[in-house]
Amino acid sequence: MLSADGIAAIVSTAEAENSSVISDFSLVDVNVNSATHAQSLSPRDYLNQVSAYYFGYGL
């Protein structure tokens, strides 16, 4: 969760459990060493589990 100034904020477990917002996107796993390589994965695949998202950008 981001605060108004764009700083990441910690969300308590109670807040997370009561939240109805669930990220809805999917990406193909391109990691050849992953057990899920070439599969489309979504945050919805990991409901009720801790998850984090990182979208890197390289030149």
Banded model confidence at residue 46, pLDDT cuts 50, 70, 90: confident
Give the pLDDT score at 38.
Answer: 95
Q: Is the pLDDT of residue 45 over 60?
A: yes
56 in any annotated domain: no
7 in any annotated domain: no
Provide the domain limits for residue 39: 13-46
For residue range 5-40, what is the model confidence (pLDDT) as tens digits? Answer: 555 555 545 555 555 666 788 989 999 999 999 999
25 in any annotated domain: yes
> Per DSSP, what are the bridge partners of residue 2?
8
For CA atoms 13, 15, 20, 26, give the dihedral sign.
negative
Give the pLDDT score at 28.
Answer: 92
Instruction: Please answer whether residues 35 and 25 qualify as being in contact, where contact means their C-beta atoms are separated by less than 8 angstroms.
Output: no
Residue 28 has φ and ψ, to the nearest 5°, of: -85, 135
State the pTM of this model: 0.50
> Per DSSP, what are the bridge partners of residue 27?
41
- What stretches of 1-59 show up as alpha helix (H) in DSSP? 13-18
Give the pLDDT score at 35.
Answer: 94
